Amino acid sequence: VSNKNGKAKYNLGENPDLKPNTALIYSGFPFPNAEYKNVNIFTPEMAEESGRSGAYFSTIVKITKI
């Protein structure tokens, strides 16, 4: 999984409950020995105009099978 803000490897699966072209990646608080990186590496530093310090719609990632 990658975008202009970062890249990381995850084990992903399909979920028919999600909208097409939507990724849902669970990754908890970043611990030094964690197997997966925290997904916040993909979000921009600045909050969206909609506020509340979230990146609701602006975080676009590319998923590549390896």
What is the chain's pLDDT, residue by residue, as a tens digit (66 residues)? 999 989 998 888 889 999 888 888 876 555 565 677 788 888 877 766 666 666 656 688 999 988
Q: Which two tokens stand for residue 51?
A: 């506020």
The answer to whether the pTM exceeds 0.95 is no
Measure the CA–CA gap between 4 and 20, rounded to whole angstroms: 22
Exposed/middle/buried for 39, CB within 10 Å: 0-12, 13-18, 19+?
A: buried
